[in-house]
Amino acid sequence: MFPLIVAHIFVLIIVASVAFHFWSPWWWTPVASNWGGMDDTILLTFWVTGAVFIAVCLFMAYCIWRYRYQKDRKAEYKPEDKKLEFHLTWLTTLGVIVMLAPGLVVWHKYVTVPEDALNVEVVAYQWGWKYRLPGEDDILGKTEIKFISDENPFGLNLKDPNGKDDILVDSGDLHLQIDKPVKFLLRSIDVLHNFYVPQFRGKMDMVPGHVTYYWLTPIRTGDFEVLCAEFCGVGHYAMRGRVIVDDEKNYNQWLAQQITFEKMLAQNKIDNKSLKLVKNIE
Amino acid sequence: MSDEFEHKIETKADTIADAGSVTSGSTAGIDYVPAHERPDQELYHSHSWWTTYVFSQDAKYIGIQYALTAIGTGLIGLVLSWMMRLQLAFPGLGILEPSSYYQFITMHGMIMVIYLLTALFLGGFGNLLIPLMCGARDMAFPYVNMISYWAFLLAVIILLASFFVPGGPTGAGWTLYPPQAITSGTPGSSAGIVLMLISLCVFVAGFTMGGLNYIITMLQSRARGMTLMRLPLTCWGIFTATVLALLAFPALLVGCIMMTLDSLLGTSFFMPAMISMGEHLSYDGGSPLLFQHLFWFFGHPEVYIIALPAFGIISDLISVHARKNIFGYRMMVWAIVGIGALSFFVWAHHMYVSGMTPWFGYFFATTTLIIAVPTAIKVYNWVLTLWRGNIQLTLPMLFSLAFIVTFVNGGLTGIFLGNVTVDVPLSDTYFVVAHFHMVMGIAPILVVFGAIYHWFPLITGRMLNEGMGRIHFWITFLGSYAIYFPMHYQGFVGVPRRYFEIYDSPYIATSTLHLNVFITIAALIVGAAQLVFLFNLIYSARAGEKSEKNPWKANSLEWLTPEMPPGHGNFGKELPVVYRWAYDFNVPGADKDYIPQTVPPSEVRSAKVEKT
Ligand code: HEM
Ligand SMILES: [Cu+2]
Ligand SMILES: [Cu+2]
């Protein structure tokens, strides 16, 4: 009796897991970037691994019941079965290849940035986000952490002429234009952070002293939340931001309202206003 | 040097003489075993209460000291997890501050991985089982072995002391990534982190003493006839894990030392120029990524340092309680060794989105998925051992079955995270938390329980209570599945890990928070069930049913000692002589359903043994 119950409970675990998968309300948000391929790879992995999980567990449940202890049963004595082991090995290898190959193809796309992508710099600090876009010259000026000051919160190199027209978004939301590829250049001025918008799928840590990157193309307009996805101190959970994907008209309108580095420098000098460099969370 | 050499020659000569005399005897050479290669170990005999019960040099006793210390520390880790879960489910109650939440996840994670599981599997089960299973009187270096335990205890005390220093324990996450670990935005960034780093260094030093002992004992002190390919898989698991640990821990050690210097002396091994709390710090030129490489060069093998002993133990439990030889023993050994070797080539799969060059992704995704193959083979061999067996649903067997379900689940989600593209959306979300708890939290813990139910009679001479054991089993198994299975789906939604509070977020349905409440309730119930287990341990040790000798009818040497529990020196006057592997169950032609390793072929002439 007990073996039968145990076998049933194991079957029930499988049934419940599958049911949970299909009927639970929790699933990923609709994708808002070109990285639908990541979702597809997850699904592929899901089917392959799900099948293995179900097969192994059901087989186990079957054994529990079918080979339950009986005093006069003789277990089989067969230390090895080379043929079976061989078949299982190549079958597993095949399954692994089926999952890995498409994954690597998508990864290749992820790390190969299209030529025409717009460079957008994201600067992370404890605990918030700032953004910098290239000005008319399409080139971002050079930066260094040691140049950062109240007057120059992005740490732009004053000697680099390319930086003068850079557009700075010191507080506020980042806007992106739909269907235009962007390359995020990720920078941190203090500790590790990670620029993550769940609907975009992409992710990359920001490392002080390095510029890391990833790229994407937004495919639908809307208002998205930015989360920090690498632990960065007590304010980590509150390090949120906003990205808004606009159509061309709204995007250009927004862009026109932003100030350039030159203007900011002038302003900061005139008002002698000290912009608070590091904002603590309230 | 030359002494040893001569000694070897001598024993060689002995062997030949021995073999000659046996052939002429009635057993016609079928009972042949090589002669001793070295004289019997001279044991240290304790004379006072202190050296018997406190500063013991007996590996069995040291194992129990290790196990009790580890379990005690683990209970602290468990209580911390309750507080964290309560905070996540009921953020309105204000149970924790953000800083204490981060301190708790850090201490919880580090305690569970290092001070509970590593110490328990290697220090606990390693000490208890290696000499017994190999047929040795004790570890090769009992004195060093004793020091190893006291170093471990010291490491635990230093770790726990950090709760009481100004600023509290470190809240840097168990990965201790700089720069945040030692800068002021993180709790415990001055005294707390330094104590953590020192504690780890002491742990590594203590472990190295123990680890050298385990390896040398297994290589040098095996009984006559105990070839490597006759060792129980438990020994193989612990052996390979120890080799991994001896190679991996140095990376952690240098990482810890360098970070301590960065913190105390202001060096810049890992610290780039940066700003903290509105001020430029004096660091410059260090590399945070270097620490991550060092950490994971240790951290990934660490997963297997926990997993391999668990694999070994579970193989033995399944075989004994299914009354069947382990399926594909040689394949199992090679899989353990292969996994161990490969585990040094996959570390950067924890760093796909760390900002290291993305071109590494191809290499590490490939190696990571290759490791899935030997791992899968192990799983197949466990279920194939059940197949056509004669399965006794004892508590160790129930825990083994639960282990298989949990491990397969957690192993398969590892394939998600190892496949670099899939890792991008899932990394640093609750999918990861669910994955590693399944595979390196719950699964090994289930093995620990199975092993305790299995070997408890060996330690105390009494059986654990079956009724309480079953309650403990079902709640722990089903409860922890209920905690972690749904958690993967929070990860799909995109809920990030290490979040003190999630808030309402436009993309996170409120129902995700209800799920958090469910998970927390499950966690509390599972935690409560552990009290049943603790009670069972204490109760059964005093008043449990007396166990007969070799209660599970196993073949391996630990059950074949003259007394149970085994006495000082383990095997009485004569060391055992081994004639076969540990898995001769239900051999055709044999009268009983098991043939212990010490039974010579001449006594079971009718048994048609295939592998010996
Ligand atoms: C049922 C028992 C357990 C519960 C309820 C539990 C709960 C938790 C929670 C709530 C977190 C923090 C998640 C976050 O905010 O990101 C966590 C983290 C963690 N847990 Fe557990 N845990 C349990 C058992 C274990 C075990 C047995 C291990 C052993 C490997 C373990 C290892 C870890 C690790 C390594 C972390 C990561 C810490 C970090 O993010 O730095 N846990 N656990
Ligand atoms: Cu963060
Ligand atoms: Cu790993």
Mean pLDDT along residues A31-43: 92
Contacts (Cβ under 8 Å, ≥6 apart) of A93:
B373
Q: How far is B188 from chain A (nearest CA, A)?
A: 10
Residues 85-104, chain A, touching B (beta carbon < 8 A) = 85, 88-89, 92-93, 96, 99-100, 102-104
Q: Which CATH architecture has domain A118-275?
A: Sandwich (2.60)
Please indicate whether residue B437, judged by its CB atom, sits closer than 6 Å to ligand 1: yes
Residues 139-198, chain A, touching B (beta carbon < 8 A) = 144-146, 148, 186, 189-192, 194, 196, 198
- The Å distance, Cα A196 to ligand 2 centre, comes to 10
Q: Tell me if B413 sits within 8 A of A50, measured CB to CB.
A: no
Q: What is the DSSP string of B169-190?
A: S--STTTT-TTGGGSTTSTTTT
DSSP letter, residue B121:
I
Q: What is the pLDDT of residue B45?
A: 77
Q: What is the pLDDT of residue B606?
A: 86
Q: How far apart are CA A177 and CA A173, in angstroms?
A: 13
Q: How far apart are CA B500 and CA B507, in angstroms?
A: 18
Q: Is the pLDDT of residue A34 over 70?
A: yes
CA distances (Å), B414 to each of A20, B25, B418, B444, in order? 20, 57, 6, 15
Q: Is the pLDDT of residue A74 over 60?
A: yes
Query: Which of A79, A145, A206 lies at the smallest CB-CB distance from B275?
Result: A145
- Residue ranges of the domains in chain A? 2-67+80-110, 118-275
Q: How far apart are CA B518 and CA B512, in angstroms?
A: 10
Q: How far is B568 from chain A (nearest CA, A)?
A: 35
Cβ contact (<8 Å) for A210 and B289? yes
Q: How far apart are CA B408 and CA A53, in angstroms?
A: 7
Chain A positions touching B193 (Cβ under 8 A) are none
User: Which stretch of A144-158, A240-254, B74-88, B321-335 has the lowest confidence by average pLDDT?
Assistant: A144-158
User: Exposed, middle or buried by CB within 10 Å (0-12, 13-18, 19+), for B360?
Assistant: middle
CA distances (Å), A123 to each of A259, B257, B385, B532, in order? 16, 31, 56, 52
Q: Which two three-digit tokens encode residue B13?
A: 């000569």
Neighbours of A40 (CB within 10 A): 14
The half-sphere exposure of A157 on its side-chain side, counting CA atoms within 13 A, is 9
Q: Is the pLDDT of residue A274 over 70?
A: no
Q: Ligand 1 atom 30: the closest Cα is on which residue?
A: B441
Cβ contact (<8 Å) for B391 and A89? no
Q: What is the pLDDT of residue B560?
A: 93
Q: Which two three-digit tokens encode residue A238?
A: 């509150």
**Over chain B (612 residues), what is each successive 10-residue block's mean pLDDT?**
39 39 49 78 78 86 95 96 94 89 96 96 96 93 94 97 95 94 93 96 96 94 92 96 96 96 94 90 93 96 95 96 93 93 93 91 93 93 93 96 96 93 93 95 96 96 95 97 95 92 76 88 95 96 92 94 89 89 91 91 85 62
What is the count of residue pairs from A and B with beta carbons less than 8 Å apart? 336
Q: Ligand 1 atom 17: the closest Cα is on which residue?
A: B105
User: Which stretch of A4-8, A262-266, B305-309 has the lowest confidence by average pLDDT?
Assistant: A262-266
- The Å distance, Cα B197 to ligand 1 centre, comes to 20
Q: How many angstroms separate the first and last alpha carbons of chain B?
A: 34
Q: How far apart are CA A169 and CA A123, in angstroms?
A: 10
ipTM of the complex: 0.93
Dihedral angle computed from the Cα positions of residues B189, B192, B198 and B200, in that order, rounded to the nearest 10 degrees: -100
User: Which stretch of A145-159, A209-223, B415-429 has the lowest confidence by average pLDDT?
Assistant: A145-159
Please indicate whether residue B498, judged by its CB atom, sits closer than 6 Å to ligand 1: yes
Q: Tell me if B270 sits within 8 A of B259, measured CB to CB.
A: yes
Q: What is the pLDDT of residue B611?
A: 65
**Is B57-231 assigned to CATH 3.30.565.10?**
no
Q: How far is B608 from chain A (nearest CA, A)?
A: 9
A253 in contact with B at a CB cutoff of 8 Å? no
Q: Tell me if B131 sits within 8 A of B139, measured CB to CB.
A: yes
Q: Which two three-digit tokens encode residue B605?
A: 């002439």
Nearest ligand to the C-alpha atom of residue B174:
1
Please indicate whether residue B399, judged by its CB atom, sits closer than 6 Å to ligand 1: no
Contacts (Cβ under 8 Å, ≥6 apart) of A91:
none
Nearest ligand to the C-alpha atom of residue B350:
3
Q: What is the pLDDT of residue B564?
A: 85
Respond yes or no on whether the N-terminal peptide bond of residue B565 is cis (omega within 30° of 0). yes
- The Å distance, Cα B300 to ligand 3 centre, comes to 4
Q: Tell me if B342 sits within 8 A of A192, measured CB to CB.
A: no
**Ligand 1, pocket-test mutation among B118, B175, B433, B530, most atoms within 8 A of CB:** B433
Structure confidence by residue, pLDDT tens digits, A49-67: 999 999 999 999 999 999 9
Query: Which of A17, A145, A198 lies at the smallest CB-CB distance from B494?
Result: A198
Q: Where are the alpha helices (DSSP H) in chain A?
A: 2-23, 36-66, 82-111, 248-257, 261-271
Q: Which of A160, A115, A114, A116 is nearest to A140 (CA)?
A: A160
- Residue ranges of the domains in chain B? 57-231, 421-547
Query: Which of A3, A67, A199 lies at the smallest CB-CB distance from B387?
Result: A67
Please indicate whether residue B445, judged by its CB atom, sits closer than 6 Å to ligand 1: yes
| Residue to test with chain A: of B276, B424, B487, B584, most A Cβ within 10 A | B424
- Residue that has been written with the tokens 């069930």 in this structure: B529
Q: How far is B185 from chain A (nearest CA, A)?
A: 5
Q: Where are the alpha helices (DSSP H) in B43-118?
A: 49, 59-89, 98-110
Q: What is the pLDDT of residue B153?
A: 97
Please indicate whether residue B440, judged by its CB atom, sits closer than 6 Å to ligand 1: yes
Q: Which two three-digit tokens encode residue B231?
A: 């060792």
Cβ contact (<8 Å) for B415 and A13? no
- The Å distance, Cα B241 to ligand 3 centre, comes to 15
